[in-house]
Structure 1
Amino acid sequence: MSTYFITGIGTEIGKTIASAIVTETLQADYWKPIQAGDLDNSDTHKVQNLISNENTIFHPNSFSLNTPMSPHAAAEIDGVKMTSKNIKRPKSTNKNMVIEGAGGLLVPISDNEVIADLISPEDNVLVVSRHYLGSINHTLLTLEALRSRGLHIAGIIFNGEKKESTESIILKMSGVPCVGRIDVEPYFDKNVIKEYAEKFKESLKGL
């Protein structure tokens, strides 16, 4: 079975929607290691409300922090010591698993560790990119950071308004395939996620 680690080029990029689509496509388990803030409407809750299949198991957060801040700061406020060693991956599954990161790769979880330290070499890393001024730089920097750590980049998911010149130069310069794109939608619900799952099916199976 495979793990798919969903990261983004920053915050509010669309990782949770992408995670819901990948989870639904593969009927995989889902795990968000660190949730900072919005505990009553967490990313786990959101994905639960967006998928249709009955096979997905939702594994509890290793850390559920009260403040919507960088994980290291939220943990300090809660009086919690957080390290990669006390973030244990769920073992009670024999299915594919989607792991959703928090923010971008270099978001701190402690004084000397970042989100990227939670990624294993065998993970298929999917990078979610959204177009804005500077997003080419942020996307290429994210890909370079993954490569510098020897991590496996499985593909890019573009989210939001399509911009051909931006997408094409990212793909050309990085050599990383696009596994799908998420368009601007008036809303996302189970039916919309199901439609995207069909679109993503072939590209994800090929990873």
Structure 2
Amino acid sequence: MRLVVCGTDTDVGKTVVSALLVQGLGATYWKPVQSGMEGGGDTGRVQQLLGLPPERVLPEAYRLTAPVSPHWAAERDGVSIDPARLALPAVDGPLVVETAGGLLVPLRRNWLQIEQIAVWGLPVLLVARSGLGTLNHTLLSLEALSRRSIPVLGLVLNGDPHPDNPRTLEALGGVPVLAELPPLDPLDREGLERQWQRSGLARSLQP
């Protein structure tokens, strides 16, 4: 299984979902573009959280200093993101690719992240928040993916369970809600393992 984890918005929990998938699938993790390096960036967070060996965590193609949109972060660092450097790595076994931000985030001023996802040709697992505001963000994201014929595995909703949003998103978005993940406290490897067993993602993501 090789897939792309993308979020509908900032801070929807896609790094936690990526870590969950990496652990559950025994996958290699790759975040090709990292904007903002506080705490080692998301690559460092995933490696620290899961205690992964170095070969399971690939280095970023771009490590950008400022925690802003990738195109601007690159300009501030005096570089231009080259899509040729974002080619999928050759790895054995499952691969989880985490994007920088949402689908229409520009990687440079003439290249959107969704365009890079289309080049990769991998299915997308879309991460969204569970509560207020998720309907608009999620349905717009699904529409953008559909217009470009990018396959969607389904949705993962992060946060306190909502009584209606999952049903509405499935009905209007036309894709399944694969899991609803409550906040994890503490957020650690053991908690992720328990959540993986409860979530049913192992069955949903069988090739």
Per the TM superposition, whether the score is higher than 0.5 is: yes
Question: Using a 3 Å threshold, how does the CA distance of structure 1 residues 143 and 21 change in structure 2: closer, same or farther?
Answer: same
2:100 corresponds in structure 1 to 102
Q: Could you tell me how far apart the structure 2 residues matched to 1:185 and 1:194 are? A: 11
**Identical amino acids, percent of aligned pairs:** 34
**Which segment is superposed worse, 81-90 or 185-194?**
81-90
Deviation at 1:56, TM superposition (A): 6.3
TM-score by length of 1: 0.92
Aligned with 1:181: secondary structure?
strand
- State the one-letter code of the partner of 1:204: L
Q: Could you tell me how far apart the structure 2 residues matched to 1:132 and 1:88 are? A: 35
The 5 Å alignment of 1:89-168 reads 89-91=88-90, 93-120=91-118, 122-168=121-167
Q: Could you tell me how far apart the structure 1 residues matched to 2:52 and 2:72 are? A: 36
CA contact (8 A) 1:36 1:67 kept: yes
TM-score by length of 2: 0.92
Q: Could you tell me how far apart the structure 2 residues matched to 1:193 and 1:103 are? A: 22
Aligned with 1:90: secondary structure?
coil
The 5 Å alignment of 1:178-193 reads 178-193=177-192
Deviation at 1:177, TM superposition (A): 1.2
> Alpha-carbon deviations, 1:72-121, whole Å to 9, x = none?
00000000011322323212x12110000011100011111111122146
Deviation at 1:184, TM superposition (A): 1.8
- State the one-letter code of the partner of 2:171: K
Residue 30 in 1 paired to residue 29 in 2?
A: yes
Question: Which sections of structure 2, spanning at least 5 residues, go unmatched?
Answer: none
1:86 corresponds in structure 2 to 85
Higher relative contact order (CA 8 A, sep 6+): 1
Q: Could you tell me how far apart the structure 2 residues matched to 1:139 and 1:110 are? A: 23
Q: Could you tell me how far apart the structure 2 residues matched to 1:36 and 1:55 are? A: 21
Q: Could you tell me how far apart the structure 2 residues matched to 1:37 and 1:163 are? A: 32
- State the one-letter code of the partner of 1:101: T
2:205 corresponds in structure 1 to 204
CA contact (8 A) 2:131 2:160 kept: no
CA contact (8 A) 1:52 1:194 kept: no
Q: Could you tell me how far apart the structure 2 residues matched to 1:47 and 1:18 are? A: 10
CA contact (8 A) 1:51 1:193 kept: no
Deviation at 1:181, TM superposition (A): 1.7
Runs ≥4 residues deviating over 6 A: none
Q: Could you tell me how far apart the structure 1 residues matched to 2:94 and 2:152 are? A: 17
**Which segment is superposed worse, 41-50 or 155-164?**
41-50
Deviation at 1:164, TM superposition (A): 2.0
Cα RMSD, aligned residues only: 1.8
1:43 corresponds in structure 2 to 42
- State the one-letter code of the partner of 1:138: H
